[in-house]
Chain A
């Protein structure tokens, strides 16, 4: 079994949030977050269904 990293402060989860001092920089939305893309195999439901007849903008259940 892999030993958990001791740097993980698991014990701090027992403390109420007000006891933790945290310093965060603001989210930098202007930075480039890495992106990737690729082809995928269609699911069996996609193969069986006909996407052409689905209404535009309908959310999947």
Chain B
């Protein structure tokens, strides 16, 4: 049976550390999912995934960021996918502010959660895209954003 799993969730900063605290304007925040795809999934025609990178506000239980990415399963069984620039240059970092999660925009809630959802598909050519019963929802990776304001 085809399997697609999220084996880990990470919130990586520009020092390539799995951090839990981020400066809203200076720190990069890359959302990373460590995944596994079984050999029989990869053997299907045109195997591909759709991943959702969600950021939740635990004070309200609302998903405040929900970005999707669809791509071929192109990296073998054990792979990682990430969203957000943490490699630079510094002006290009995807900071918490750029994600839209500065606490000031969320009634001063400072703690957020990152959750990933991944689903598998098979491109069948003229028969279109087939939904594959292989998916996963990650645990929530909690992190905190500083309240520093740009005055």
Contacts and interface: CB of A to CB of B under 8 A. Distances in A.
The contact size tier of chain A is 35 or more
Contacts of A21: 149, 151
Interface residues of B, number: 55
Interface of chain B, helix or strand or loop or mixed?
mixed
Given A33-B84, A34-B85, A40-B34, A8 B94 contact: no
Contacts of A38: 75, 79-80
A37 to B, nearest CB: 4
Interface of A: 5, 8-10, 12-13, 17, 20-22, 24, 26-29, 33-43, 46, 51-52, 54, 56-57, 59-61
29 contacts: A8-B26, A9-B149, A13-B146, A13-B147, A17-B104, A22-B149, A24-B102, A24-B105, A26-B100, A27-B99, A27-B101, A27-B105, A34-B83, A34-B85, A36-B82, A37-B79, A37-B81, A37-B82, A38-B75, A39-B79, A42-B77, A46-B36, A51-B5, A51-B38, A56-B3, A56-B134, A56-B135, A59-B137, A60-B138
